[in-house]
Amino acid sequence: MSREALRDFLRAVEHHQGLRREAAQCSNDDQLLALARRHGFNVIQRDLCDDARESAITRWFETSRIQHSFQPTPSQSPPSQSPQS
């Protein structure tokens, strides 16, 4: 539930100029978490850590050669599934 609260908070920051200004003035995680709580979002420190880790993993996969090995080339496209007679 808490990670959903973080996503909701980030969406709110994106869409509300005043909240975006307040978030920009936060100089550390504690201030950002306090801001989220003041606005009714139950966000904890672990959510920020998990989000940072997830973002790092996503960035790694986006630049990794491994990602490309799982994407079929046009000549490797899966066979069509037509009914057999």
Tell me how many domains the chain contains: 1
* pTM for the model: 0.61
* Residue of 38, 73, 52, 67 whose CA lies nearest to 3: 52
Answer yes or no: is 75 within a domain. Answer: no
pLDDT at 21 over 70: yes
Answer yes or no: is 78 within a domain. Answer: no
- pLDDT value at position 54? 78
Q: Which domain holds residue 50?
A: 2-67
- 37-84 pLDDT per residue, tens: 999 999 988 888 887 787 778 788 778 766 555 556 666 555 555 555
How many CB atoms sit inside 10 A of residue 33's CB? 20
